[in-house]
């Protein structure tokens, strides 16, 4: 079995040791960094499969580390899980908007972190595989070239904006998108839309999706995500 290389960036020693120990036990190869600059250097040199990145770090904070790595073609595909303080939803939003792939709030249990790491690794594999024109999730089928959406055999009458939102969320099921990211995905076509009107669009979309509407989940204080696809690869 191939070992998976994970970079852990955290300046608090007890958390670092706890996470290190648990990842090691699960046979991950663990690289460590305790400040932002070292994190960027190690990530660029070692190209880990995943990075667990704390927000509060000496020298360079986690947001800047994330932004730098996501802007570097060499490292931009490495999934990043941000560690944020409990109740700091703004940090979560900021993290996602600089390109983090997921987040976990402190304090957390090793079990939760391990589950999250596995989910993110699985998702980033799935994303690569699902880059085709038609994709199916649960009972939903989205045809990108024809811009049509079906639930079982019934076609949904979606507006341009609704289709864009559904497509954005569904193509990366399980990933959380902030309202800002949803707005950005639509803006390209001159459609005036604000953060708040995203909520209205989602309400309409869920209504049109009928019994499948629950597949779009609200992530309180942060944004929306499409329920993770649980069908095996």
The tokens of 22 are what?
A: 């648990």
Cis peptide bond prior to 107, omega within 30° of 0: yes
Quote the least distance from Cβ 133 to Ca ion, whole Å. 43
- Enter the tokens of residue 95: 């993290």
Residue 56 Cβ, how far from Ca ion at the closest point, in Å?
4
The total number of residues shown for the chain amounts to: 233
Nearer to Ca ion, 67 or 162 (CB): 67
Nearest to 100 by CA among 54, 59, 37, 131: 54
What are 154's two structure tokens?
A: 């019934």
Using CB under 5 A as the criterion, what x/- string covers residues 39-68 for binding Ca ion?
Answer: ---------------x-x------------
CA atoms within 13 A on the CB side of 64: 11
Of 53 and 158, the one with the shorter C-beta distance to Ca ion is 53
Query: Minimum distance from CB of 34 to Ca ion (Å)?
Result: 9
Count the residues of the shown chain that bind Ca ion, applying the rule CB under 5 A: 3
* Residue 123, number of CB atoms within 10 A of its CB: 19
Q: How far is the CB of 25 from Ca ion (least distance, A)?
A: 23
Question: 61: closest CA among 11, 5, 107, 6?
Answer: 11
- Please identify the residue of the shown chain whose CB is closest to the bound Ca ion: 56
Tell the smallest beta-carbon distance from residue 62 to Ca ion (Å). 8
Residue among 54 and 162 whose Cβ is closer to Ca ion = 54
Q: Which residue, 33 or 183, has its beta carbon nearer to Ca ion?
A: 33
**Interface contacts to Ca ion, rule CB under 5 A:** 11, 54, 56
């Amino acid at each position: 079995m191939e070992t998976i290389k994970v970079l852990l960036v955290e300046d608090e020693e007890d958390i670092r040791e706890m996470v290190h120990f648990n990842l090691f036990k699960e046979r991950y190869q663990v690289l460590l960094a305790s400040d932002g600059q070292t994190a960027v250097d190690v990530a660029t040199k070692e190209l880990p499969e995943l990075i667990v990145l704390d927000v509060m770090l000496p020298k360079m904070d986690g947001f800047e580390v994330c932004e730098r790595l996501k802007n570097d073609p060499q490292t931009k595909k490495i999934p990043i899980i941000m560690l944020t303080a409990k109740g700091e939803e703004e940090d979560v939003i900021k993290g996602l908007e600089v390109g983090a792939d997921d987040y976990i709030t402190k304090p957390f249990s090793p079990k939760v972190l391990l589950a999250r790491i596995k989910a993110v690794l699985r998702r980033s594999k799935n994303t690569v595989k699902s880059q085709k024109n038609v994709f199916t999730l649960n009972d939903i089928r989205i045809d990108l070239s024809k811009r049509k959406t079906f639930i079982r055999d019934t076609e949904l009458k979606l507006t341009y904006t609704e289709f864009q939102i559904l497509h954005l969320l569904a193509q990366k099921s399980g990933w959380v998108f902030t309202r800002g990211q949803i707005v950005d995905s639509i803006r390209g076509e001159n459609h005036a839309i604000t953060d708040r009107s995203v909520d209205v669009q989602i309400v309409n979309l869920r209504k049109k999706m009928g019994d499948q509407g629950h597949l779009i989940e609200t992530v309180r204080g942060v944004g929306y995500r499409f329920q993770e696809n649980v069908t095996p690869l």
